[in-house]
Amino acid sequence: MLRATNRFIVIFLSILSLSGCALFTTHYDAIRHENFTKLQAFHVKFINDYTEGGPKQWSKSEIDKVCDSGDLKYREALVYAKSKDNKDGTGERAVSILKEQFEDDCKFLIKRGKSFGKAWAGEHLEQIKKNYGYAIAGELSRVGKPE
C-alpha cells in the first residue's frame, strides 16, 4: 500500500513538473543583465550627444555611423537573449522593445535635420531610463538571480 502511494506521488509530481515547464520563464542571466546596462549607457549618451548644446553637431554621415554601430550592439544583444530564452521568449522581447526605441530615436534625429530639443530630451531621457530600469528589474525578478 505504501509503495503504491509512493509510486503515485512520484508519477504525480513528474507530470506536474513536466506540464509546468512550458509555463516557466527564462532564468536570470548575468550577461543579459550586463547588456541592458551597457545599452542604456550607449543610448543615453547618444541622446545627450545630439541634444542642443551637446558635444556633437548634427551631421547625417556621423549620425548614420553611430546608429549603425548601435544597430550592431542591439542585434548582438538580441541574438544573445534569444539563445538563452526559454519558450516564453521574455529575454528577446525585453531587448526588442529597447532596440525599437533606439531605432525610433535614430529615425527621429535624421528626420529633424537638427539636434534634439532640450525640453524633448529632458522628458525623453526620463522615459528611456525607465524603460531600461524595467528591463533590469525584470531580469532581477527571474529565478536564479544572485542574492
Q: Which residues bind another protein (CB under 8 A)?
A: 2, 5-6, 9-10, 13, 16-17, 20, 23-26, 88, 90, 93-94, 97-98, 100-101, 104, 108, 111-112, 117, 119-120, 123-124, 127-128, 130-131, 134-135, 137-139, 141-143
Phi then psi for residue 51, to 5 deg, are -100, 145
Q: Can you give the three-state secondary structure of 79-101, one letter per residue?
A: HHHHHHCCCCCHHHHHHHHHHHH
CB of 59 to another protein, least distance (A): 20
Do the beta carbons of residue 128 and residue 120 sit within 8 Å?
no
Q: Closer to another protein at the Cβ: 80 or 134?
A: 134
What cell was used for 38?
551597457
CB of 93 to another protein, least distance (A): 6
Q: Closer to another protein at the Cβ: 38 or 112?
A: 112
Q: Closer to another protein at the Cβ: 56 or 131?
A: 131
CB of 1 to another protein, least distance (A): 10
Between CA 43 and CA 38 the distance in angstroms is 9
